[in-house]
Amino acid sequence: MDDELNALRRARMRWNAPLSEPHAELLLDRMALGGDRLADLGCGWGELLLRALERVPDLRGTGIDTDPEVLERGRAAARARGLASRVEFTEADAATWDGPAGRAFCIGASHAFGPAKAALDRLARVVPSGRVLYGDGFWSAPPSAAAREIFGEDVLTLPGLLEAVDAAGWRVLHLSTADQLEWDGFESASRLAWQEWLLAHPADPRAPGVRDWLDRRLREYVRDYRGVLGFTYLVLGR
């Protein structure tokens, strides 16, 4: 797809994770955000990072991602909300960012480090003493071969993920999982901007490609992983 359509694709998403507004507020409460540095590894456009900065006036933020487009969206949002002087959006590999920070988010980005244990070990180095909000997928039901093919062999069960947390030396201060409404809302929002574009531009030469992509993604969701892939939010302390 061309740059215009690629830029539009995630426009209707609040953040790039299955997360409701009230659930996000609860997680920010549990992070006990202080007046130090908050790092967001694999930040996307950093909406949760910006909300954390809005809550705590002394807090400074660093968002790290490898995708220049999402980082630019984050910078524009920070400017629009008067937060630009307290946050930097840095194009870098999160796996090489050392910190230190007193608080960190790593939501839907553990694959940047390898398996969950590698991510949790690295987060322990970034946050030597403090809290991390770690969001990751897990199998909530036995996956089909098709689901494994989409998400790879590193996905754990929730007990397996908690074993990795324990082995990396973290204590679990909070555990919650995305519910079905959050998942359906997330999946629908991930397709909504293109769905609306398609309805408005049925004769565009790019329309057949967009329709195929949307239909494939919806089919995969309902057939291969709806109710099978879970997503957990862990507030971890050390």
Ligand X SMILES: C[S@@+](CC[C@H](N)C(=O)[O-])C[C@H]1O[C@@H](n2cnc3c(N)ncnc32)[C@H](O)[C@@H]1O
Measured over the CA atoms of residue 142, residue 145, residue 149 and residue 152, the dihedral's sign is positive
| Stretch 38-77 residues interacting with ligand X (CB under 6 A) | 42-44, 64-67, 70
Q: How many residues bind ligand X (CB under 6 A)?
A: 18
Q: In whole angstroms, what is the distance from residue 30 CA to residue 24 CA?
A: 10
Return the closest-CA partner of residue 176 out of 91, 235, 221: 235
The verdict on 95 binding ligand X (CB under 6 A) reads yes
66 closest CA partner among 99, 103, 132, 111: 111
User: Which residue lies nearest ligand X, judged by its C-beta?
Assistant: 44
Q: Which is nearer to ligand X, 15 or 138 (CB)?
A: 15
**Site for ligand X contains 15 (CB under 6 A):** yes
Indicate whether 185 belongs to the interface with ligand X (CB under 6 A). Answer: no
Q: Taking a C-beta distance cutoff of 8 angstroms, is the pair 89, 78 a contact? A: yes
96 burial via Cβ count (<10 Å: 0-12, 13-18, 19+): exposed
Determine, following the binding rule CB under 6 A, whether residue 140 of this chain makes contact with ligand X. Answer: no
> Which amino acid, one-letter code, is at 73?
R
Among 25, 29, 58, 93, binds ligand X (CB under 6 A): 93
Under rule CB under 6 A, residue 110 binds ligand X: no
Nearer to ligand X, 42 or 130 (CB): 42
Q: Where do contacts with ligand X occur on this chain (CB under 6 A)?
A: 15-17, 42-44, 64-67, 70, 93-95, 107-109, 112
